[in-house]
Chains A and B, each alone.
Chain A
Amino acid sequence: MIHNWFKSGSPWIWLSAAAVSISVLLVVALLGLIAARGLVFFWPKDVLQAQYQDQAGSSYRLIGEIQETEEIPTARLKESGVEPPGDQVAYTRYLVKTGNRDSLGMDFRLVLPDFLTNIEYPTDLIVVERREWGNLYGYLKQVKENGQVVAEGKAAVAELNKRLERTLDLFRQIRHIEKNLIGAINYELEQLRLEERKLNLDNNHDPVKRTAIATRRSELQSRYEVLQKQRNNLFPQFNRDSFSAEIMDGRVVEVSLSKVVRFYFPNAMGLGGKINHYFGKLWEFVSDEPREANTEGGIFPAIFGTVMMVLLMSILVTPCGVVAAVYLREYAKQGFIVRLIRIAVNNLAGVPSIVYGVFGLGFFVYFLGGNIDALFFPEARPTPTFGTPGILWSSITLALLTLPVVIVATEEGLSRVPRSIREGSLALGATKAETLWRTVLPMASPAMMTGLILAVARAAGEVAPLMLVGVVKLAPSLPLDGNAPYLHLDRKFMHLGFHIYDVGFQSPNVEAARPLVYATALLLVLVIIILNLAAIRIRNRLREKYRTLES
């Protein structure tokens, strides 16, 4: 019977069905994994307190949140130096985030739940997010002003809340002064320096210009000093308050409020509080700047950089791609050469992206950029202006990379426009250009849209070439800001995809950064899937449209 069953071929059909199931499951699992890990990142986890006691006799109080749970075979456990409590084949192991990196040295511990006793979730356990050294877990003891205790015990929470608000307000003020006001002055001073250098290089001794520069400079200097003073006056106020907390090893540590981002009592939070916290964190994630070597805080500059680069790329790639496609389909004499070109264009879509990166670095950055610098920015040399990786070169490189996508999609759209429409238009006396402009292109526009969306989706996820032509792990300023000429095409930028690579693999504290990487990955995946779904929908609608036309 089995023999016959095999002979019928039906097992193979089942196996091929399994291949589909596996492929689909892989896709779903991957998306699910990213979503699960990325979404829980912002959810406030309960913080446990327990007594740790292992076979080797080490014993301490453990405070922290369980970050991960894994099954580990006993032999491996032994290898890592832990004597297993029993004779099971495998044990569950927790990765506990204990925070307090400054006091404890490391902020993660691997513990077996079997060694934990007296597990409890005290409601007065506080989690403090700081600008340095990661989270603090412990019990709030006192709130101090200039070292003097102002509140203790229960009253401390309200006091801390009040004072943190004030400190955060001061923080925003100081940041505004430093980043926006002083930043603008520094920018202008640098421009003046370059202007002066240019005058020197041109041997221009025009006294009017020079005095103008000098007056402007002294004006800026004095404004700078005023701001500097203003900022310095804020600092003592900013550093005024502090609080002390007892951490897991019983020590009481004091932390200045100027280092605190937020605090919360996860075990005391209700569902509403948690949801509130969740969205607060989510908002911080998409709108704030990164902290602590990108492992904490938000990813706003990366989102901004990605969007900006993709926009620039779209502006470049759309006209080029459409013109090339129109030429190939409508104007070029169809023959061997055009077929060859078409094969080449199709081929280019398959050329590895890193090759475009190498080309971009060699040709755009070093060759074009170097020459532009020599011609137009001699005053800035030897500091390169355009002769260094930057957002302009990145978008041009990616435009080149996505050009085949747009060309192929547009050509396909053009080829779908029925002959009858073209002939009708020509027969009514329209010229070829008019036919194109009035009938063919509008009808092919959804196809161009599809091409563009696919190009954008590809560009948003592409990292390898960008690593060569302009992306950095931390850009000091955005490519678009309040300083004339507002759009700084020579600047380096941050990028979501590169952020994932950098934080996940180059970060000094990978363990702490991992959840953030998942969240970033989720964001990127969402953007790309939405773009692709949009492209697919447009394509389908387009097909519908022509089906009605053809009939």
Chain B
Amino acid sequence: MAAPGNDSTTVSLTEVQIRQRTRILKDIVARYAITVGGISVIMAVVLIFFYLLFVVIPLFKPAEIEEIASYRLTPPGIGDQTLHLAMEEQAEIGVRFTRSGLAQFFFTRSGAIITKQSIPLPPQTTITSFASGAPHSAIVAFGLSDGSAILVRHAYRVIFPNDKRVITPRLDYPLGETPLVIDSTGRPLRLLAVQSNEEQTSFGAITEDNRLLFTHFSSEESFLDEDESALERSSVELKGQPKNTRFLLLDSEQQHLYTANSEGALSVFDLSDKQQPNLDQRLPSVTTGSKITAMNLLTGGISLMIGDSGGRISQWFPVRDESGKSILTHIRDFDAQTAPIRFLVPEFYRKGFLAADGSGQLGIYHSTAHRTLLVEQVGQDKLNQLAISPRANALLGEDSGGNIHFLRIDNEHPEISFSSLWGKVWYESYAEPDYIWQSSSSSDDFEPKLSLTPITFGTLKAAFYAMLVALPLAILGAIYTAQFMAPRMRQIVKPTIEIMEALPTVIIGFLAGLWLAPVLETHLPGAFALLLILPVGILLFAYLWTHLIPGSIRHRVPDNWEAALLFPVVLFLSWFSFAISPILENLLFNGNMIQWLTHEMGIAFDQRNSMVVGIAMGFAVIPTIFSMAEDALFGVPKHLIRGSLALGATPWQTLMRVILLTASPGIFAAVMIGLGRAVGETMIVLMATGNTPVMDLSIFQGMRTLSANIAVEMPEAEVASTHYRVLFLAALVLFALTFVFNTLAEVVRQRLRKKYSSL
């Protein structure tokens, strides 16, 4: 009998053991699962910050270059000097133009020649000068010894047979293969400048006998035949160029002709009237002692870049003075190089440029951002020629030894620097340096204006006005609710206000934009009158109530129900203010306050202005501040209050000297949290302001905030573009701002909690 019994106990013991083991196993599994799960959830949350940072960081990376290939073109053409290098869009094919009139197309990676063509020169003429047009036009011109010039364009046809890209280069002669007469006296052209587009072509030239000529061809489309177009030529000799002119430039709009000599004397000709260009300006452009060694125009043709023998590069563009006259003005300098600048090569679509100096150093710069992205030695020798690809991702350089270097450029976001994000920047065609946010435009040679200052300013302005509305209401309200209000009323009031915290801001914003803004616009004097009438009226009522109303009526209202008593008073006063609004407007402002503001005071008025935002967003943050401040005030230990009252202090004295003092960190935390919320709020500002990025403290003007800016522009920003990353940066700034406010609040609150528990 014992054996089976024994048996069963051992069996059950192992069962228990197994169960025990699985239980322990389960416990361990649960522990690890929860630990891993919990940590990964927290990691995911932290990831937000790092991801934002990860997207933003490339903005501040310097440029990098990397040599991919170096070769000599075959056949080299002994003694044949390279005049110009260029690349097509993909940077797969390059072209080299030489002094003997040869154009060689070659693969940029290998240097293998694809085709070569000779420019058709008339017999007994030689090439005496060379010029290239705006980079994206792919125009070059050769000046000849007989006073004529020939216009050439290198063009590329891209086809995709079998899904593979095949590029075929060719030379075009937009104005025909016969040379165009520039100098009718037939003297050789010593210097040449050219610009050409569909409608017109301009040449500037200096002849061997130092005459400056401006020759203009416009293509008049023939009425009879659409393909046939007649060329209309005009040519004038210009006076006033500096002696020994070495530099001659035309802008891509064919509006200005720049001439300069090495000593820095600069003359600008205005070409608005092609028949009668006139000398616009003469000015010295470099400091005495240094010489101009390179000159070029940035894309868009507005900024003139001048490189001097000291390695300094200065940027100039026309700025209108008070009288409306454009004056070529010195804007900024780049001082990163020391040897004489030999070439300045503009990027195709951005306001960046490359500079090669006499010591073989290459600099990559961006003008708007005032940023030096890279200065690095390229090759052993100094560079004789330099070209950048249209996408600014590759460069070709020929050193003095005749070697061609093909380099990859990694320079995605040159337009961003600390100064372009936060400082005043002097943008092209602007009268003075300014903070401007204007991220996109239809034009190709647009200068993006990415200053975060105006939108950060807008954010803080919106938050400021919101706090102006919210702080008094929320904090006074919290004081009253926590300290004076009857408990039964508090039970209703607190949840009512707290529920508003959950109210979608889109609803507040929509009411602010569509209801409040028009109402305020029509009742502006009333709104301002309310600011005065409300407190005065309430005090008046309080005085009358406590002093004139007989006690028999007064005592029917239970203690600490003042707030309920005030409901009708506040309603009446608000109604009254708005009702007298038209009367006030007639009495004080000739019937229209907005017109009065604009005409008499010179204050512009937006319908959706800071006042609307202040009220709407103030309303949105009241519950946040109220609820937290009330908690802090209510949590003040009761024995402190009783002690104070017992010592004879009035309730008000107790409040001011004891309660507020004790709870002040909590109130501070509440304000911080409210501020954080106001800074980050999107929908209200999106709907209740005009979203114009102006920097103006006026209460009657709108603003654009960081958050609204992201909401408006993010969907359109191209992935990984500078604009996209700057918007991420805006998000990061927002994140940082709120993080600071919240952390401050949290730390203060935790301390307060400790303090209360010790009291």
Contacts and interface: CB of A to CB of B under 8 A. Distances in A.
A38 to B, nearest CB: 11
Contact of A21 (B30, B506, B522, B567): B567
B677 interface: yes
Interface residues of A, number: 107
A376 interface: no
B670 interface: no
A330 B707 CA distance: 37
B441 interface: no
B73 to A, nearest CB: 38
Given A14-B562, A355-B735, A22 B473 contact: yes
A409 B186 CA distance: 90
Interface stretch (B140-148, B159-167, B244-252, B678-686): B678-686
Contacts of A76: 522, 591-592
A245 B500 CA distance: 48
Interface string B490-520: 0001011101101111111111011100000
B522 A350 contact: no
Contacts of A1: 547
Given A11-B539, A462-B504, A521-B507, A89 B583 contact: yes
Contact of B510 (A28, A78, A332, A504): A504
Contacts, number: 343
A70 B680 contact: no
B673 interface: yes
Contacts of A525: 503-504, 507
B570 A434 contact: no
B711 interface: yes
B497 A24 contact: yes
A458 interface: yes
A1 B543 CA distance: 10
Contacts of A24: 493, 496-497, 563, 567
Nearest to A521: B507
Given A24-B493, A89-B582, A18 B502 contact: no
Contact of A75 (B24, B30, B535, B591): B591
Interface stretch (A135-143, A176-184, A188-196, A339-347): A339-347
Given A2-B543, A73-B585, A362-B728, A355 B479 contact: no
Contacts of A433: 26-27, 29-31
Given A326-B38, A463-B506, A434 B680 contact: no
B714 A400 contact: no
B746 A461 contact: no
B37 A358 contact: no
B44 A504 contact: no
Interface residues of B, number: 118
B229 interface: no
Given A17-B480, A348-B45, A431-B26, A73 B542 contact: no
B543 A350 contact: no
A394 interface: no
B582 A324 contact: no
Report whether over half of chain A's contact residues are helix, strand or loop; otherwise say mixed: helix
Contacts of B585: 73, 75
Given A350-B738, A504-B510, A17 B27 contact: no
Interface string A311-335: 0000000001101111110111000
Nearest to B585: A73
B632 interface: no
A355 B45 contact: no
A64 to B, nearest CB: 21
A75 B582 CA distance: 9
A536 B504 contact: no
Contact of B566 (A18, A30, A524): A18
A460 interface: yes
Contacts of B619: 26, 30
A331 B41 CA distance: 14
Contacts of B653: 9
A19 B583 CA distance: 27
B477 A19 contact: yes
Q: By CB atoms of chain A within 10 A, which of B476, B493, B585 has the most?
A: B476
B306 interface: no
A358 B46 contact: no
Given A20-B563, A33-B511, A468 B711 contact: yes
Interface stretch (A288-296, A478-486, A527-535): A527-535
Nearest to A540: B495
Contacts of A130: none
Contacts of B563: 17-18, 20-21, 24
Nearest to A77: B591
Nearest to A9: B652
Interface in A351-384: 351-359, 361-363, 366
Contacts of A22: 473, 477, 534, 570
B35 interface: yes
Contacts of B509: 501
A8 B687 CA distance: 45
Contacts of B288: none
Given A350-B738, A433-B26, A358 B510 contact: no
B595 interface: yes
Contacts of B515: 33
A473 interface: no
Contacts of B595: 75, 79
A403 interface: yes
A20 B546 contact: no
Contact of B34 (A33, A326, A352, A363): A326
24 contacts: A9-B650, A14-B566, A16-B476, A16-B484, A20-B480, A24-B497, A24-B563, A27-B496, A27-B499, A75-B585, A76-B522, A90-B582, A326-B38, A331-B38, A355-B52, A355-B680, A357-B710, A362-B728, A400-B44, A433-B31, A434-B27, A436-B30, A461-B504, A500-B506
3 smallest beta-carbon distances between A and B, as pairs: A9-B652, A327-B38, A352-B680
Given A13-B484, A23-B473, A358-B727, 13 more contacts: A9-B653, A23-B497, A73-B585, A73-B591, A76-B522, A326-B34, A352-B680, A357-B710, A357-B711, A362-B51, A433-B29, A501-B683, A514-B514
